[in-house]
Structure 1
């Protein structure tokens, strides 16, 4: 099978470097991988799995002198912070949010590369789906319309994300029909029972929910997902309490960090250098679903 050999890749908001996992899965080889990331735990995970990664610091401090010294960039990837544009957030500021306006840093660097470094650079940007007005602004700045892909096609979690790219990858990934039961690592992990749950629980399409506090509704921590179903989008915060699994009867359990890694198509123990299970899972939730990105990266191969 023919491949395109990429000399240099630049990843902005690199996180735990799921892009490198996806490149491997897609059979794409590369010489140098430069990463912009400021979270220490994310950098630690990346260095543990890909020790040759060259970290170049804060994206806001990357100027033309830094990019010029990297050499010709063949592929630019990134997933700018989504907190300000997520429709699940009340009172969101959209692209005026100091985190989400980092989208413009990606655009700034992408445009500079096209003009001064490599006019044929391939690019990929991932983010959540914003409101219509914000989406139009993002499409305009990216110069292309976003494609929506739900990770449930290749994973046991429902995770709809938008991808802006000039990589032609054809159809959406094939639906593998993966369920939580297919990625189970340990069904005895942190099993719990609570009589208060049994007194208030109800069954919905995707999960069991309960209302111990008497608020009249259950928050994301007050639910457990069916083994023969799919998980919610893996969250970044309080991941362990928000990804519980229903075992049947009056038994429930927490998801194991390895199961959360599998829901993002990561190798088992990819984040194991981080000792806190909740931090490990949160780092996964802050990343990409590797097989979705690998599907797009396969468009880099020579036909």
Structure 2
């Protein structure tokens, strides 16, 4: 088996393939972030890096060995529901989706039986329909909470026959905690008189954004974490310690929330960078579950 991974990030695809015991001959990775490439080389030294996806054309594809599996998670910023300006597929970053579609088309000419998997956030209905038409199938929606201690809804377009999903998963933040000297924060702002306790988290308002700003939340240890963001310095995934105290998560806890091996990203010394790469990646056990379908084909 030969694999081509576009927007490879920290190569969670290889973690997933190995986790379900699927052997592959060559793994080609298109990625431009230097820290992500460093993490991949550290964990998977046989990876063949092929550079920027926008430089891949049909001639390049035809000079690769026959590819049996194409995977990728095209950048999602332009597809996000955030109020910072969701431009759907007109956003330059989200246009990379069409690079994936073009490459899949070129690969299908050489191998009509190629398997593929594309991951992305859940955009609006119109955008989903456009993406469905371009890639030729409808997505399956999977929440990472079925496999981890993190709530993370994503769509997966694939022609792999995905096994039945588990109905529930009882992992909580307490189950993934890593013993370390906690980076404890205390709500001290004089304007904060009350800590509001909600269903999943406590909330407070020191920013003027209101009680429901995700930046002012800390999640209960006996519950699930929110979706890991890309930036630790402005982390929304705080852990509530009780009273007016909360803390930031340790990088190993972030890796565990994404079901990655401990210290998978430790070759990078910046905690902020580590969290950004992990938050921008996949939940490994979700991808491994999808890849189980490869073993029946």
TM class, shorter-length: over 0.9
Counterpart of 2:240 in structure 1 is 246
* CA drift at 1:212: 1.8
1:226 aligns with 2:220: yes
Counterpart of 1:265 in structure 2 is 259
- Name the TM-score, length of structure 2 as normaliser: 0.95
Q: 2:23 aligns with which of 29, 34, 46?
A: 29
Counterpart of 2:74 in structure 1 is 80
1:68 aligns with 2:68: no
Mapped to 2, the partners of 1:174 and 1:32 lie a distance apart of 34
Q: Give yes or no for contact 2:29–2:49 (8 Å, CA) kept in 1.
A: yes
Unaligned runs of 5+ in 2: none
Q: Give yes or no for contact 1:200–1:212 (8 Å, CA) kept in 2.
A: no
Cα deviation, 1:130-169, whole Å, max 9, x if unaligned, reads 1111100001111110000000000111100000000002
Number of aligned residues: 296
Q: Pick closer, same or farther for the CA change 1:89–1:78 going to 2, 3 Å.
A: farther
1:160 aligns with 2:153: yes
* CA drift at 1:240: 6.0
1:203 aligns with 2:197: yes
Counterpart of 2:10 in structure 1 is 16
* CA drift at 1:171: 1.2
Mapped to 1, the partners of 2:39 and 2:8 lie a distance apart of 11
* CA drift at 1:203: 0.8
Mapped to 1, the partners of 2:207 and 2:60 lie a distance apart of 53
* CA drift at 1:209: 0.8
1:144 aligns with 2:137: yes
SS at 2:193's partner residue? helix
Cα deviation, 1:56-96, whole Å, max 9, x if unaligned, reads 00101111222222200010000001111111244321001
1:180 aligns with 2:173: yes
Mapped to 2, the partners of 1:239 and 1:80 lie a distance apart of 24
Q: Give yes or no for contact 1:124–1:163 (8 Å, CA) kept in 2.
A: yes
- Name the TM-score, length of structure 1 as normaliser: 0.93
* CA drift at 1:253: 1.2
Q: Pick closer, same or farther for the CA change 1:65–1:204 going to 2, 3 Å.
A: same
Q: Pick closer, same or farther for the CA change 1:285–1:237 going to 2, 3 Å.
A: same
Q: Give yes or no for contact 1:16–1:287 (8 Å, CA) kept in 2.
A: yes
Q: Pick closer, same or farther for the CA change 1:187–1:201 going to 2, 3 Å.
A: farther
Cα deviation, 1:30-71, whole Å, max 9, x if unaligned, reads 010000001111111101100110100010111122222220
* CA drift at 1:187: 6.0
1:128 aligns with 2:117: no
Cα deviation, 1:280-300, whole Å, max 9, x if unaligned, reads 011000000000010010001
Cα deviation, 1:232-258, whole Å, max 9, x if unaligned, reads 100112466321101122321110000
Q: Pick closer, same or farther for the CA change 1:194–1:33 going to 2, 3 Å.
A: same
Counterpart of 1:3 in structure 2 is none
Q: Give yes or no for contact 2:160–2:294 (8 Å, CA) kept in 1.
A: yes
Q: CA RMSD in A?
A: 1.6
Mapped to 2, the partners of 1:146 and 1:89 lie a distance apart of 24
Unaligned runs of 5+ in 1: 1-5
